[in-house]
A and B are shown apart, each in its own frame.
Chain A
Amino acid sequence: MSYRHTISAGDFWIHEIKKGEHFRIVDLHGNQAVDTLFYNARNYADRYSAQDTIREQRNIYLTTGTRLMSNFGTTLLTITGDTCGRHDTLGGACSNESNMVRYAIEKRHMHACRSIFMKAISTWPGLEKRDIPPNINFFMNVPVTPDGKLTFEDGISEPGKYVEMRAEIDVLCLISNCPQLNNPCNGYNPTPVEVLIWA
């Protein structure tokens, strides 16, 4: 292994992954939402797009074989392995503001992924708030029903499940390891995940 790192719940991780390298995220303790964005490392305006990704494969779930597409049609990475089976890209990242809408205005103070993204971009020249589009939620289960409802189901991940992908170009990866306590996306117990990169 050329790189190995554990991301605590509520922490961010930002790192370049080179073309051809393999990238694995391991759900160490199970049912942990990993809010993830990717950018073309040479042009951050060319970045992960949830809509382009699901439309091009005609399926709302991400799993083995999914090409993670940019807003300009670039294939950023391809998912090459997945022991969980299904990942979400419609639920986005939690935020202080969306928690106020969804749960109670008094919930503003609670830790949230969008704030973790803000902290991350403040450390990384070249990224601003407008570079935070809708993300991937690895290990999260958000089904859509035929009559157009969106539901948040209990996770289908378990300790040790992982998702693995291959970078098709040099990419920058930004992760917020979700601290949400108001819904079952982390099993009400946010836990660390591990990231691994190898050639």
Chain B
Amino acid sequence: MFEETILFEETIRAGASWSHVLKRGTALRITDVEGSANVGALFYNFECTTERYNMPDTLKAQHIARLTKDFVLYSDMGRILCSITGDSAGWHDPLAGCSVAGRDGFLIELEKWGLGPRDLVANINFFSRIDVVSDGRMSYHEGNSKAGSSVELRAEMNVLTILNACSHPLAQHEPKPVHVAVRKVAPPAEDDACRISRPENGRGFILTERYFA
């Protein structure tokens, strides 16, 4: 009934930016083509862009300082923008922000949708890992993502997705290309792994489903 049909796919060149309104009922798979890629990402409710990805709400609802499969990305309105339904890299950085090149890439794409500097918020760095030790010191973890690693984001709302393939701000190496593919997926079932991963996320799905009621 829900054939997994690829709707389109393309490559984001190293250092380039990209944007797309990811529709509820589709999923975006991002693949690290060469290894050690980084993808800066921001997410907005396309229907009301003042509702957007909220780093603190995402971290504190799930008691996490990293992102991987079965976690979800919360907006500031208690709703789930995207669920992480697949991940072979194992760790994605929600803490360290973006480089100047990454910020420029975000701003170019934001302006295309009528948004701008005031809409820059804390971003995610897919495929990158930051280690934090007990006194709070942060360091870049080399080699977190291997060639062919992928992460899949299932849209739970209609999500304006802003990406750039710029280097992680704490990495020393050149940016790398990534491949993106969008496909149709089934809606989250009652026993969906993201929904049942913790009671907070169960409530997050209820609030998201109420928005579309």
Contacts and interface: CB of A to CB of B under 8 A. Distances in A.
Interface of A: 44-46, 49-52, 54-55, 58-61, 71-73, 86, 90-93, 95-98, 100-102, 104-105, 114, 128-131, 133-134, 142-146, 148-152
B59 A150 contact: yes
Nearest to A108: B78
A102 B61 contact: yes
Contact of A90 (B59, B66, B77, B135): B59
Which of under 10, 10 to 19, 20 to 34, or 35 or more describes the interface residues of B? 35 or more
A51 B54 CA distance: 12
Nearest to B131: A146
A90 B119 contact: no
B200 to A, nearest CB: 5
A98 B65 contact: no
Interface string B121-146: 11100000001111111110000000
Interface string B62-85: 011110000000101111000000
A60 B134 CA distance: 10
B78 A97 contact: yes
Contacts, number: 139
A141 to B, nearest CB: 11
B64 to A, nearest CB: 6
Given A58-B137, A59-B137, A102-B200, A129 B78 contact: no
B148 interface: no
Contacts of A102: 60-61, 200
B32 to A, nearest CB: 19
A122 to B, nearest CB: 14
Of listed A49, A91, A98, A101, residue having the most chain B CB within 10 A: A101
B169 A148 contact: no
Nearest to A46: B117
A54 B203 contact: no
B105 interface: no
A146 B95 contact: no
A90 B95 contact: yes
B96 interface: yes
B207 A100 contact: yes
B103 interface: yes
Contact of B132 (A60, A95, A96, A130): A60
A145 B65 CA distance: 8
Contact of B95 (A60, A105, A130): A60
Nearest to A98: B57
B118 interface: yes
A151 to B, nearest CB: 7
Given A51-B123, A54-B95, A58-B139, A90 B118 contact: no
Contacts of B200: 101-102
B207 A55 contact: no
B96 A51 contact: yes
B97 interface: yes
